[in-house]
Structure 1
């Protein structure tokens, strides 16, 4: 396995449903987004990522048909889950996909962190992924939903932990660090419950970094998501904001594509166990993968540090992004 790719993962959030909030996605996908087409595109991405050495694959109940697409790929390629170098599968519960396979749906997903939602969604994930499911996250756990204080949910997830499935949380929003630190304190039967953290970190929104370092120090796995800021830090996705313009200028000055700079910046964090990529085509994937080969010069790293936006502003901008 090529060494640089071992810290990368592939997520299917942007390819396993017809609409998402990543800018530049429409130009790559076009208008042909029926189930069969996106299934074929997902398979091509999984094949290419596996060939490159990527061994962590990320899906969720709310990512359209992501679990279904992944399960089909796994069934056709039984060798990828055995031997000395198998893939690891992570999924998430807590959102339902309700978009009806439409790009113009009024609502694409609905959040529910109740025990009933966990019970229902875990059964569906288990039905599709079976013993391949190695990590199960609460999807976008926040303090306000109560899931980080719900002892019944914790007990139910501890049953997974005790059967060898790593459980954790993904985080979103300006209070990501609070969610990470609260989850680190949760124990069931005297043992930590949440030992995997999947959080948004990128040069525009690095605020969760110190909390993720604490999680890694405590022995948890840290997975970085949205490293491209939903396209704002990728070629063709620049949205006119000051931070995105400055990042694009840095890419132009160095002659390095912006997506590769974003990947290298995330990998420079020693606490990052995996950095997720979310391309919709194999050309995008190839460029993303090349970021693992890049070492940022000190001056470029300093410029990236200066791009950070106030967390509240970053998340307000993200919330306003259209699904397309």
Structure 2
């Protein structure tokens, strides 16, 4: 396994606040747009040098699309592929203490507005465009008018898909797989939340890959719960951290390697905020784990409803 199966996601560096812990240590107090743009470009340089060729952004990741667009200027469009997402608006006004940081809207009007912005920034580099956190309740999987709009993007040669979150990810994936527009599947790209604490979407992700879709794994270290120095005392986290100690590797590297061992995973995202984190994930991509270790890492999952309830309660910082 090499770094070409890794991607880098910019949720943690495109805006000043996010739900990962340790941001004061990682980013410091200076989080002005210019500082985060420099950090983003440094991370992208390091990622490409390590062999990473996929970049993940979203309209709601603050100014991540703009930061990537500036970095891409003048580069060969074949050097990296960019995937972006629409369906949330960033409304945090670049404040750490904002009451609300993002607002969800899966309407046709929201798509038209956000697609024009993404296309303007990313253009020829954009390889996939996803509905951000599509659920059965959000309406995006049953709105035929929206599907016709998305099919126009698909027909430009861009993979259209969904990202998933919540305890019913598998239902969203399977529903999306059956959407057909113009005689062809509409959704052929998926970005799923999957890690040793929440692997429940795995069978549906495997079905998607088996039907020709490409599946990207996000939140592989559970938003920082499975990172070196974690103080997470939940039984599942203790199990994974203890296994990493037995194997003799940092827990984040174990999680990356376990995700890459899933045959349905096209790419696994690093959400690194520092080049040190990124280097650790690249090292994890090179680990060759015994299948028994992979199985053991998945041996103490949390109840999906409890996992997502706890995630929803995490503070932005």
Common fold by TM > 0.5: yes
How far apart in 1 are the matches of 2:58 and 2:291? 37
Query: What corresponds to 1:47 in structure 2?
Result: 45
Query: What corresponds to 1:230 in structure 2?
Result: 223
Query: What corresponds to 1:16 in structure 2?
Result: 14
Deviates more, 1:31-40 or 1:218-227: 31-40
Query: What corresponds to 1:59 in structure 2?
Result: 57
* Preserved contact between residue 24 and residue 236 of structure 1 (Cα < 8 Å): no
Q: Alpha-carbon deviations, 1:32-77, whole Å to 9, x = none? A: 11111111110000000001110111000000110000000001x4
* Preserved contact between residue 16 and residue 39 of structure 1 (Cα < 8 Å): yes
Alpha-carbon offset, residue 221 of structure 1: 0.4
Alpha-carbon offset, residue 228 of structure 1: 0.6
Alpha-carbon offset, residue 299 of structure 1: 4.1
**Residue 122 of structure 1, aligned match among 101, 112, 115:** 115
How far apart in 2 are the matches of 1:200 and 1:21? 15
How far apart in 1 are the matches of 2:67 and 2:94? 15
* Preserved contact between residue 90 and residue 133 of structure 1 (Cα < 8 Å): yes
Q: Report 1:16-95 matches (<5 A).
A: 16-75=14-73, 77-79=74-76, 81-82=77-78, 86-95=79-88
Give the secondary structure class of the aligned counterpart of 2:134.
coil
Q: Which has the higher helix share?
A: 1
Contiguous gaps of at least 5 residues in structure 2: none
Q: Give the 3 Å change call, closer, same or farther, for CA 101–298 of structure 1 in structure 2.
A: same
**Residue 316 of structure 1, aligned match among 309, 314, 317:** 309
Q: When the two structures are superposed, what TM-score results if normalisation uses the length of structure 1?
A: 0.96
Alpha-carbon offset, residue 293 of structure 1: 0.9
Contiguous gaps of at least 5 residues in structure 1: none
How far apart in 2 are the matches of 1:214 and 1:243? 26
**Residue 273 of structure 1, aligned match among 266, 284, 296:** 266
How far apart in 2 are the matches of 1:26 and 1:252? 26
Alpha-carbon offset, residue 298 of structure 1: 4.0
Give the secondary structure class of the aligned counterpart of 1:147.
coil
Large movers: runs of 4+ above 6 Å: none
Deviates more, 1:5-14 or 1:298-307: 298-307
Deviates more, 1:279-288 or 1:26-35: 26-35
* Preserved contact between residue 238 and residue 245 of structure 1 (Cα < 8 Å): no
How far apart in 2 are the matches of 1:322 and 1:244? 19
* Preserved contact between residue 261 and residue 294 of structure 2 (Cα < 8 Å): no
Matched, 1:186 2:186: no
Q: Alpha-carbon deviations, 1:223-277, whole Å to 9, x = none? A: 0001010001111334221111222222222220011000000001000000010
